[in-house]
Structures are given as C-alpha cells and as structure tokens.
Amino acid sequence: MVMFTSYLQLRDRLSQVWLNKYTIALSLAMVKLLFFSKSIGNSIKQSENYVLSHCNAVDSIYAETVGSTPHYMAVLGNFLVKEALIQSVKATLKTLTLLVNASEGLLNFVIDLYLGTYACLIISAVDGSVDVATNATEKLLDAVNNSVSAIANDIDDGLDDISKVVNKIISVAHKVEDLFESDKDNNVSDSIHNINLTVNSLRNLHIPSSINGKLRELSERTPNFYQVKNLSKSLLGVPFEEVIEEIKKVNATKVVGNSSVLYMPPKNSSQGGICKPNESDIRKFYDGMSHALTITTVVCTVLLVAGALCATIPVAYSECRLWGRLLEMRTQFTEKQDPYAISDKDSASRIFRTREEESHYDVIASYQQCFQHWNSKISNSLVALVEKFSPQYDDENGTRSLQRARIRWAVAYITSERALCVLGIGLLGLAITILQLILVAALQKSLKDLGDSSKNFKDTDIGKTLEQSMNQWAHGANLYINDTQNNVNKHVFGWVDKTTVAVNHTVSKIISEIDHTLADAFNGTLLMKPMKAVIGCAIENKLYAVEKAMTWIHDKAQLELPDIKLSEIKQAIEKSKSPSTPSVLPKVTHEIYSTIKLCLDEFHKTAIYQLMVALLLLGIWFLQIPIALTIAFYRTAQVSKY
C-alpha cells in the first residue's frame, strides 16, 4: 500500500514557488508604490481643491494688498516729503540767520578795518596826550614846588646876613639918632622890614595840585576806542537784529504748501485678482500632474509585476537543483545500506511509498526533521491530538499510518519556509497597522479636544509686531542718518575745524609775541600805554576779530540732520486707518481643524489599506491550508485506487 512522505517533494515545492522572497518583495514594493501614488494623487487633488476653494480669498487678499500698499506708501511718502520740506525750510532759515550774522560781522570788520583804525588812532592819541600831559604836569608841579621852597631858603640865608649888617648900621644910627632926627631913619627901618616880608611870601608860594585832578578828570572823560566801537556796533547791528527777529518769527510748518494737495490713493482700489482669471490654467496644471503620475505609476507597476513573475523562474530552477541533490544524497546512502534498493529515478517518479520502503531509513526525512525542527514538533502534536479524539482507527489496514503521513505532509506544506515567510510578513504588517490605527485614534481624540478648546483662543495683536518692525526700521534709519552726519562733519568739515584751531593758535601766539616785544621796549616809560594803544588799533584788534571769526566758524561749521520721529509717523498712519475689521480667528481655527482632520483621515485610510495588505498576506498563508487539504484529499483518492 502507498503512503505519504513527511516532507515536501518537488511538485509540492514548485507549487509554492510564487511565494519566494523576491516575488513577495517586488509585490510589496508594487503595493507600496500604489499606495504612494494614491497618496500623491490625493495630495494633488486636495491641493487643487484648496487652491480653487480659496481663490476668492486669495484674490481678495491680493486686491487688498495691491490697493492698500500704495495708500500706506503714499501716507509714509507724503509724511516724509512734508517733513523733508519743513526741515529744509528750517535749515534755510538757519542758513539765512548765519548769513546775516556773518554779514554783520564782515561789515563790522570792514568798518573797523578802514574807519575804526583811524578813530582808534585819534582817540588813542588824545588819550595818550592827556596821559602824557598829566604825567608831565605832575612832574612839573613837583619840581616847581620843590624849587620855590629851596629858593626861599637860600634867600632867607642871604637876608640873615644882610639883616645882621643892617642891624649893625641901625645900632650905629641909633647912636647918632640925636644928630640926625628925621623921618628917613624910620623909612629905612621900615624898608628893611618890608624886604623881610617879601621873602616870607615867597616861602609860602606853591602851585596847587588840583591841576592834576582836573587833568585826570579830563582823561577819564575822554572817550576811548572801545566805547566808540561798541556804540557804532550797536547802531550798525540794529537792522541786522531786526532781520534776525523776523527770521525767528517765520513758522516753517506754515511756509510749506498745503499737504492736502498731495495725492492719497484710496484703499482697495484694485478689483483684479491672480487666481480666478487663471482658474483654467490651474486646472490644466493639476490635470497634467495627475496624468503624469498615473502614467508613471502604471509603467512602474507593470515593471514590478513582470519582475515578480520573472523572479519565480530562477527560484524554480534552484528548487529543482536542490531536489536533485537531495535525491542523490538519499540514493548514495541507500546504496551503501541496501544494494537492492530502488533507483533514484523510480523513487523520484513515485509520489507514495510502501510500508517496506518507509521502514527503511529516509535521509530526506532526517534532513527535514533536523533543519525544520518546529515543523516536526507541530506535526507530532497534531498527530497526537487527532489520535486522541479519533481512536476508532486501527493500524491493521494502514489507515492510521496514512493519516499520520497525511497530517505530517500537510503541516510541512503549511509551515514551509516560503509559507512561514508570508505568515511572518503578514503578522508584522498587521501589528504595525494596528499601532498606526492606535496613533491615529489618539490624534483624532486630541483633535476633538482642540476643537472644544479653540473657543478660548485669543486674537494676537498684529499691531505689536508692526510696531516692533517700525521701531527697528526707525532705529536703523536714525543710525544711518547719524553715521552720515558724523562722516560729513568729519570728512567735509573736518578741515574747517583743523584750520580754525590752527589759525586761532597762530593769532594767539602773534598777540602774545607783540605784547612781549612792547613790554621789552617800552615797559616803565611814558610811551608804553600809547604804543600799546597804537599797536592794538593797527594790529591786535584785527587779530582779535579774526580769532573771533574763526571761533564762530568752528562752532557753526557742523551739519545737523534731523532724526526720524516714529511717533509722528504713527500719528500719520493712525489718521488713515479704517475701522477695525472683524476677527478672523474663528475662520482660521476652522481651517486648522479641517486641515488636521483631513490629514488624519488620509492617514487612517492609508492604515486601513496597509491593514488590508497585511490581511491579504495572512489570507495567502491561510490559503495554503485548503490547498494542502485539497492536494492531500486528491492524493488520498489516488491511494485508494491501489
């Protein structure tokens, strides 16, 4: 009686060639490519729907941007033009003030140069003459008073000698008084007495010192050059001061033109768009992408299918070679054990083997048991389980042995290497898809919570962002203006500063040298003050004027550019703002919710597709069971014929 073998023979192995790893890998790659193509197609379709559904919004934003941008640019431009003109007028007025001051200074210098020199010399000559006269008078008075006193003393000495002689004569005269009694003696005595009186008056003679006081008073009342200069300067500066006051009264804001004549484009003046007019082109673009995707997917799928089918050929050839080696190994072993054993050709052509043949040691069965240990354990367990619940079979007619062989063969077929590979991939795909579905479910729950809590969202103040940007712009612009101002003052007016400082230093040194020379020549003499006055009129006053002019130029030769005042720009923008628009937060929240929900739905759909593929692989493995049973029953029917 014929029996089943406990391992798969060549036909059994070839029936599972299409389950080889290369075909499975290419098939999975094809499925992955189809999923990827489907995902890209859905994304393209969603993108098309999103673009077309938001066409009106895009056109509205575009129109608002195009219409509002010129308006705000005009607001800023008009403000800058107005401020530039105001600052230009202020700079012009300041320049006029400087020109008036410079003209006044130049006129004073010219008058001082031509007329002031002569006036200074004349007044200095008068002052010097009075000073010299005063000093000379003081010396003369001292000399006269001292000389008169000395002369009086000398006369007194002489008169004393004369008085002694006269007194002797008078004493002699008294003696002969009686002889000569007349009035003449008394006259002589009186005359001598009169002479003494005249000398006493001369002793008391002196020139009064009040003359010096009158001369000093005259010197103090004599006007000097500085008084005349200040008087002429004050009279000359009257018209210039009036001009400066008139310039100060000018309001630069009112001088510029009326800013209302500046054109202000209205907001939202543009009614065009970029999406709606190009809707047909947009659809053509997306249709072209979808067509290209479809063609590419079909070509790649065909190539993968062809590759999967072609992969079965080398695998089948490899199985044939492997089966040939197994048969050769069994034949060699059998020949060594039993020289009357059947040949390999007969053994290979027979599907079943007899009890006697089975009683011989089978090398292929041993190979199966060693290299597929789990198959043997599973088959033995199933055999024990079946025999436990089906004890009615006996082994007298070989029914139980046939049943055992059939179970072992079916288990070997179902648990073959290729079948288990399909089972493993299916189980792995099933586990992965379950985890993906869990993740998607968790995200969907979170999305639901987001939808419930989105009512508590708050609008963000875009004005703060705009204000920060404006502050940064104003800060950068002011840094640029200040840097330009410093560069102009350094590189353009720097030589003015150096020149004025050098000229002032030179003038100061010249004046110091002149004073030092005058002091060396005329110090302690009557000519010191007159010469200093003359030198001052002719030279030093001009040098002082030059020094003052250089100092004025040094102080005024500075460029001052006005900074950008952001507060004024904000006020100008605030005046042109329209009433606040309604909040777009609910719309944005709905868009976010819809987009995330759409993505999660796509992921859920993809996970379902992957689950179907995993179940399909498991189905392919489970399909091996009815295939094995069908082959087993068919072979059992074949056995019953013998």
pLDDT per residue as tens digits for the range 543-567: 777 777 778 777 777 777 777 777 7
**Average pLDDT of span 607-629:** 86
The DSSP bridge partners found for residue 353 are: 3
For the residues 385-401, what does the mean pLDDT come to? 58
Instruction: For the chain, give every domain's residue range.
Output: 75-261, 462-576
At residue 165, the pLDDT reads: 60
CA–CA distance, 6 with 368 (Å, rounded to integer)? 8
pLDDT digits (tens, 9 = 90+) for 69-80: 777 777 777 777
Structure tokens at 311: 């992969």
pLDDT at site 480: 83
- The token pair at 245 is 């006051």
Question: Does 367 have pLDDT greater than 70?
Answer: no
Among 120, 115, 223, CA closest to 535:
120
- Lowest mean pLDDT across 85-94, 167-176, 243-252, 254-263: 167-176
SS3 353: strand
CA distance between the termini of the chain = 7
- pLDDT of 143 above 50: yes
pLDDT at 302: 92
pLDDT digits (tens, 9 = 90+) for 401-423: 666 667 777 777 777 777 888 88
Q: What pLDDT sits at residue 312?
A: 86
CA dihedral 456→457→459→461, nearest 10 degrees, is 110
Per-residue model confidence (pLDDT) at position 358? 45
pLDDT band of residue 141 (cuts 50, 70, 90) is low
Mean local confidence (pLDDT), 587-613: 79
Query: What is the rounded distance in angstroms from the CA atom of residue 504 to the CA atom of residue 298?
Result: 94
Q: What confidence tier does 119 reach under pLDDT thresholds 50, 70, 90?
A: low
% of the chain residues with pLDDT over 70: 57
623 has pLDDT over 60: yes
Residue 58's Cβ-count burial label (10 Å; 0-12, 13-18, 19+) is middle
The confidence score (pLDDT) of residue 353 equals 46
Per the structure block, which two tokens stand in for 74?
């005009």
pLDDT tens profile 221-277: 655 556 666 776 777 777 778 877 877 787 777 777 676 777 767 666 555 667 777
Residue 3, helix vs strand vs coil: strand
Is residue 394 a contact partner of residue 613, using CB atoms and an 8 Å limit? no
Lowest mean pLDDT among 6-15, 461-470, 573-582, 589-598: 573-582
SS3 content of the chain, % helix, strand, coil (to 5): 85, 0, 15
How does DSSP assign 293-346, residue by residue? HHHHHHHHHHHHHHHHHHTHHHHHHHHHHHHHHHHHHHHHHHHHH-TTPPPHHH
Residue 361 in this model has a pLDDT that exceeds 60: no
pTM reported for the whole predicted model: 0.46
User: What's the confidence (pLDDT) of residue 347?
Assistant: 47
636 or 477: which leads in pLDDT = 477
Nearest-10 Cα torsion for 83, 89, 93, 94: 40
Model confidence band, residue 501 (pLDDT cutoffs 50, 70, 90)? confident
- Over residues 479-494, the mean pLDDT reads 78
CA 131/CA 125 separation, integer angstroms: 10
Secondary structure in 3-state letters for 383-441: HHHHHHHCCCCCCCCCHHHHHHHHHHHHHHHHCCHHHHHHHHHHHHHHHHHHHHHHHHH
615 has pLDDT over 80 = yes
pLDDT (0 to 100) of residue 295: 92
- Mean pLDDT computed over every residue of the chain: 71
Give 586's contacts (C-beta < 8 A, 6+ positions apart).
none
Give yes or no for residue 518 having a pLDDT over 80: no
Q: What is the mean pLDDT of residues 430-439?
A: 88
Q: What are phi and psi of 337, to 5 degrees?
A: -85, -40
pLDDT category at 357 given cuts 50, 70, 90 is: very low
pLDDT of residue 195: 45
